[in-house]
């Protein structure tokens, strides 16, 4: 099998489509902005692929689903929501200079969506291919997970066009990830006159933070990181409430179960304090076995491409947990995800689009 040709892929056209998507801002949870973004994504898909891109309404905003018809065999998966608030575009407009495209969402992950569309457009036969671009991946996929899982099971293979790993590598395994919030209830009192009459939620939260941080096991890939804390109202009042946000990453289901059980078992240290825990590891781990076959196929198409195990999560975690072969990191080559220096390497766009096309074509022929 030879690598797919890239000569017919028009970089200028890809950049035009990328500009079109970037210039319709799409922050997560902004339903009005996401509705406009979904219509724009659908228009780009229909213009390049023909057929009809269906808007699937959800409380998070519309997802975009396109099918090439025939028996489903491969799902190309992306998202159009971004982490950047409205107004970011005015401060950081879309630009192409020095071989890089910049602007909010170019790397994570509008560039990947554009590359996928153009890669599919290069195929003479698109039957059996589905493209799903969701509206809430950046905030946990609460309202798209069921649809993602349904289409993944129907298709039997998933190509995720999230941004590439370091050096342009693919993402062959991901940690499971989640967030917990620990709420502490104490009792207010005057901090100077009778502090002993209160139950200090800040002190209780300090005990909890130290215990929570000890739950990590980096030697097996488990990180448990308290990230945000708040407590108190005035400097002369014993704090009656405190909250702790915690980021958790795990490599195995066993560690997921252990950490979730440890959070469920949290108990107060101070008499009279109460501790309540919400959240969990919402994205299960994506093990290397889920990507092994597809990664082997990718290396036949693009010899030398690397595979990486990464800490961040994606919708590929959900599809891999179902036992559906899943390969991630097929999107843009670049960096700076979620940051102001986010960028996409323009010269890599054709080969990445061609890689998606080659994988889709090979899957249609039985690999």
CATH architecture for the domain at 176-283: 2-Layer Sandwich (3.30)
Pick the CATH number of 11-175+286-364 from 3.40.640.10, 3.40.630.10, 3.30.470.10, 3.30.60.50: 3.40.630.10
Q: What is the pLDDT of residue 3?
A: 41
pLDDT digits (tens, 9 = 90+) for 205-240: 999 999 999 999 999 999 999 999 999 999 999 999
Q: For 69-101, give the DSSP string.
A: -SS--EEEEEE--BSPPTTHHHHS--EEETTEE
Give yes or no for residue 1 having a pLDDT over 60.
Answer: no
In the predicted model, what is the mean pLDDT of residues 338-355? 97
Q: State mean pLDDT over 78-83.
A: 98
**In this predicted model, what pLDDT tens digit does every residue of 177-192 receive, in sequence order?**
999 999 999 999 999 9
The string of DSSP letters for 264-327 reads: HT---SSTT-EEEEEEEEEE--B-HHHHHHHHHHHHHHSTT--EEEES---THHHHHHTT--EE
- pLDDT tens string 276-308: 999 999 999 999 999 999 999 999 999 999 999
**What pLDDT score was predicted for residue 5?**
62
CATH 3.40.630.10 residue ranges of the chain are: 11-175+286-364
Q: Kindly give the interhelix angle for 11-22 and 349-364, rounded to the nearest 10 degrees.
A: 100
Is the pLDDT confidence value at 150 over 50? yes
pLDDT at 250 over 70: yes
Q: What are the DSSP calls for 14-42, one per residue?
A: HHHHHHHHHTS--BTT-HHHHHHHHHHHH
Its pTM stands at 0.91
Which pLDDT does position 365 carry in this prediction? 74
Which pair of structure tokens corresponds to residue 36? Answer: 């406009």
What would the pLDDT profile of 22-66 be if each residue is shown by its tens digit? 999 999 999 999 999 999 999 999 999 999 999 999 999 999 999
pLDDT tens, residue by residue, 105-140:
999 999 999 999 999 999 999 999 999 999 999 999
Calculate mean pLDDT across residues 323-347: 97
Q: What is the mean pLDDT of residues 92-99?
A: 98
Q: What is the mean pLDDT of the chain?
A: 96
* Region(s) of the chain under CATH 3.30.70.360: 176-283
Q: What is the pLDDT of residue 364?
A: 84
102: pLDDT strictly greater than 50: yes
């Amino acid at each position: 099998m030879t690598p797919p040709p890239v000569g017919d892929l028009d970089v200028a056209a890809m950049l035009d489509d990328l500009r079109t998507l970037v210039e319709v801002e799409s922050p997560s949870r902004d339903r009005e902005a996401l509705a406009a973004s979904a219509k724009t994504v659908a228009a780009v898909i229909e213009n390049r692929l023909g057929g009809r891109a269906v808007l699937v309404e959800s409380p998070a905003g519309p997802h975009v689903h396109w099918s090439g018809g025939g028996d489903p065999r491969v799902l190309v998966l992306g998202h159009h929501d971004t982490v950047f608030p409205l107004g970011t575009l005015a401060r950081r407009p879309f630009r192409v200079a020095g071989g890089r495209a910049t602007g909010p969402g170019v790397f994570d992950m509008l560039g990947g969506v554009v590359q996928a569309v153009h890669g599919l457009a290069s195929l003479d036969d698109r039957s059996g291919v589905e493209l799903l671009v969701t509206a809430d991946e950046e905030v946990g996929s609460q309202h798209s997970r069921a649809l993602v899982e349904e289409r993944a099971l129907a298709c039997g293979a998933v190509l995720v066009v999230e941004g590439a790993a370091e050096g342009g590598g693919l993402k062959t395994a991901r940690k499971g990830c989640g967030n917990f919030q620990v709420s502490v209830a104490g009792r207010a009192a005057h901090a100077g006159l009778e502090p002993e009459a209160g139950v200090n939620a800040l002190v209780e939260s300090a005990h909890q933070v130290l215990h929570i941080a000890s739950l990590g096991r980096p030697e097996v890939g488990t990180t448990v990181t308290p990230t945000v804390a708040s407590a108190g109202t005035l400097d002369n009042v014993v704090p009656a409430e405190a909250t702790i946000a915690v980021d958790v990453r795990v490599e195995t289901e066993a560690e997921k179960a252990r950490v979730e059980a440890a959070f469920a078992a949290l108990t107060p240290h101070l008499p009279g304090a109460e501790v309540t825990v919400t959240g969990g590891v919402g994205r299960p781990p994506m093990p290397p076995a889920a990507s092994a076959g597809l990664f082997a196929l990718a290396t036949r198409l693009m010899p030398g491409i690397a595979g990486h195990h990464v800490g961040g999560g994606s919708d590929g975690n959900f599809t891999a947990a179902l036992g559906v072969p899943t390969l991630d990191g097929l999107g843009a080559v670049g960096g700076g995800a979620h940051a102001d220096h986010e960028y996409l390497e323009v010269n890599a766009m054709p080969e990445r689009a061609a890689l998606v096309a080659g994988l889709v074509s090979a899957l249609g022929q039985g690999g």
